[in-house]
Amino acid sequence: MPRFADQDRHRALRCLRGACAWALLAVFAAVSAQTAPDAGLKSGLAAAAGAVDPSAPAEAKLDERAALRAAQAAIGREVADHTLLDRQGKPVRLSSYRGKPLVVSFIYTGCFQVCPASTRALHEAVKGLDKLLGPNQYNVVSIGFNQPFDSPTAMRDFAAQHRIDAANWEFLSPHRSTVDALTRDFGFSYQATPAGFDHVLGVTVLDGQGRVYTQVFGDRLTADQLGEPLKQLLGRAPLAQAPTFSGVLERVRILCTVYDPETGQYRYNYALLFEVLCGLAFFLTVGGYFLAEWREVRQRRRAGVDGSQRLPASGPLH
């Protein structure tokens, strides 16, 4: 009789284990549905249609379609380990930014309208990510491609003029001889014009391995245009071999934030957070049940072993 009871218990445990797995899959499927990667790509391409500076003379304008093809072709490409100079003139290798997502913007400091406006918009977008991400979770770099004029001093002055002093944002200057290879790696195209430069506006997002993850086009970037690809990258990043509770909690926190277009910032989606907490509570409840059953079976087995060992010690009956 006990043998059949154990078999029934094992069947029940298997059923509960399967139900727990399906519940967790349902929770995370609902979370993943909040961040579909295709939507961001399509909206970025639509924004790029008017991203080229229209003030350039017709004979010197950038071939917009070719520029967009080059940008899209760069997706998935690993960017070479170029060495640039920071605002203090110290060499910085791009590989030093690996391990975290990186947002890259190309500018030239001699621009008086488009680049300052797009940089201010990027600054506002980065500030809009405060509730979603901390400055230690991603980095931003602005690269001056008009060399030798975009020197470390010019880049430092440009950052100061726009009051950008974020700890995770640096302004970099490449050597003139490396500008072509650098911009080609990122899929960034530009054309010199009598008025300055004609170029597609936007930023490039690299993953933690230094590969181009996506291109975000437009001269008025918003927090969600940056937040969604960053959210996807951080959500897909593998957890450590021995994940900590704080690490798992941070992953859930990121997944449970949504963009609020009215404020231009991210906020917590409490309905989604409730779903995740319910799934977690279910998992813990089932896990507690498994543990209690395991302890009960173990105690019964120990009691049976102890009884069988004590029985011969009583000696034969007379």
Query: For the chain, what is the domain count?
Result: 1
Angle at the Cα of 30 (from 27 to 36), degrees rounded to 5? 140
Dist. CA 252–CA 246, nearest whole Å: 10
The SS3 assignment for 262 reads coil
Higher pLDDT, 13 or 157: 157
* Percentage of the chain exceeding pLDDT 90: 40
In a domain, 303, yes or no: no
CATH number at residue 96: 3.40.30.10
Residue 184 has pLDDT above 60, yes or no: yes
- For position 79, what pLDDT does the model report? 97
Distance of alpha carbon 85 from the chain centroid: 26
**Sign of CA pseudo-dihedral 223, 136, 37, 103:** positive
CA dist 206 and 212 (Å) reads: 4
Q: How far apart are CA 260 and CA 266, in angstroms?
A: 6
SS3 call for 116: helix
The answer to whether residue 55 is domain-embedded is: yes
Question: CB-based contacts of 67: which residues, under 8 Å, 6+ apart?
Answer: 52, 189, 199, 200
Distance CA 67, CA 181 (A): 15
Mean of per-residue pLDDT scores for the chain:
76
For the segment 94-131, what is each residue's pLDDT rounded down to a tens digit? 999 999 999 999 999 998 888 999 999 999 999 888 77
Residue 318 lies in a domain: no
Task: Give residues with Cβ within 8 angstroms of 237, minimum separation 6.
Answer: 208
Range of the domain at 178: 37-240
Structure tokens of 244?
């900590």
Classify residue 315: in a domain, yes or no. no
Per-residue pLDDT for 15 more than 70?
no
- Alpha carbon separation from 110 to 119, 179, 196, 262 (Å, rounded): 13, 17, 8, 34
In a domain, residue 123? The reply is yes
Residue 26 inside a domain? The answer is no
Confidence check: pLDDT of 42 > 90: no
Q: Would you place residue 175 in the very low, low, confident or very high pLDDT band (cuts 50, 70, 90)? A: very high
Q: Does the pLDDT of residue 80 top 50, yes or no?
A: yes
Give SS3 for 214: strand
Which residue in 30, 15, 147, 128 sits closest to 84, CA to CA?
147
- The answer to whether residue 271 sits within a structural domain is no
In a domain, 274, yes or no: no
Q: Which residue has the higher pLDDT, 52 or 204?
A: 204
